[in-house]
Amino acid sequence: MVVVSHQAALNDLFMIKTCKSSSTMFTGVPEVDLSDPEAKTLIVKACQEFGMFKLVNHGVPLELMNNLETEALRFFMQPQCCKDKSGPPDPYGYGSKRIGTNGDMGWVEYLLLNINPDVLSPNSLLLFQHNPQTFRCGVEDYIRAMKRVCCEVLEAMADGLGLGRNVFSRMVREERSDSCLRVNRYPPLMCGVEILNGQNLIGFGEHTDPQIISVLRSNNTSGLQICLTDGTWASIPPDHSSFFVNVGDLLQVMTNGRLKSVKHRVLADSTVSRLSMIYFGGPPLSEKIAPLASLVSKEEESLYKELTWREYKNAAYKSRLADNRLTFFEKS
């Protein structure tokens, strides 16, 4: 439990945004069974309509997910001074409340890790030095499983769009793929609830994910919301045995806007802690990203110009969380 009566925590609390939100759950996000022969069609439809779907029958053992969750919680339960040895994030490592470097704040603490051992930053290396080997193994096993899930989903998606199966998956399968793993812990509010006056505290502010695809798994605690096409926020019912897969900005660009990079956020409105683990599948930094010619019909125009992932990522890191980063790609 977070001691919000502590002055420092109270000060932080009031620097974090709040919002009004209803507690009704939205059950309209499509569920896709990865072993279903129709999966490719359902995935494309869901990504066009919502930019997200729930993935079941994915073949990842619950034990593997629970194992990383347990290890992560063991890390987060350490005294603050121990956790701070693996931070601040540069951008990888341990972070608390500060998201990115441009002033965004959330009621969250997190670990951000690049999956490429060559890119392991000094702070993430320290993280593994100061924590049991079982943590590192849990991270490695989880990353391996997520890479497989990302590739299978991207292959089904490419198939569903009538493209070559490997057109997207080769980018995240590559050894130099710039993918990352984020573990977020949203502490419970407890006594903070009354002072918020019916408002919810923002755990992680609204944003789209810059990469190709994101695969999220959380414990059975609510909080995740997506922005529907009419601009309303819909609360996604949690399910600890499934994954929520969402389209990232690069996939929106490569499909010339056909698949939607969905705006989402997390509210910290519960009395129990929410823990989520998100794998962001990205291409190598030097990969050139542009709309695929076969998805731009003769009558249609290509909506975006070509950029490398490095250029886009650098621009994203200069932006605020809620900014529409896709404007960097738009043709002027």
DSSP type of residue 6: S
Torsion-angle region of residue 329: left (phi > 0), alpha (psi -120 to 50) or beta?
Answer: alpha
Give the residue with the Cβ less far from ligand GA4, 71 or 209. 209
Give the residue with the Cβ less far from ligand GA4, 185 or 207. 207
Q: Is 121 in the site for ligand GA4 (CB under 6 A)?
A: no
Q: Is 260 in the site for ligand GA4 (CB under 6 A)?
A: no
Calpha distance 25→231 (Å, rounded): 16
Active site residue 274: yes
Stretch that binds ligand GA4, among 57-65, 72-80, 135-143, 313-321 (CB under 6 A): 313-321
What H or E segment, with its residue span, contains residue 107?
strand 104-114
Q: Identify the residue among 301, 317, 327, 330 touching ligand GA4 (CB under 6 A).
A: 317
Taking a C-beta distance cutoff of 8 angstroms, is the pair 239, 54 a contact?
yes
Torsion-angle region of residue 73: left (phi > 0), alpha (psi -120 to 50) or beta?
Answer: alpha
Torsion sign, CA atoms 101, 106, 111, 115: negative
Of the candidates 157, 143, 180, 146, the residue with the CA atom closest to the CA atom of residue 51: 157
Q: Which of 182, 265, 274, 325 is catalytic?
A: 274
Stretch that binds ligand GA4, among 74-82, 205-213, 222-230, 297-305 (CB under 6 A): 205-213
Stretch that binds ligand GA4, among 99-107, 146-154, 251-259, 263-271 (CB under 6 A): 99-107
Taking a C-beta distance cutoff of 8 angstroms, is the pair 26, 229 a contact?
no
Q: Is 207 in the site for ligand GA4 (CB under 6 A)?
A: yes
In the complex, least distance from residue 99 CB atom to ligand GA4, rounded to whole angstroms:
5
Q: Is 316 in the site for ligand GA4 (CB under 6 A)?
A: yes
The contact set with ligand GA4 (CB under 6 A) reads 91, 99-100, 102, 104, 112, 180, 182, 207, 209-210, 280, 316-317, 319-321
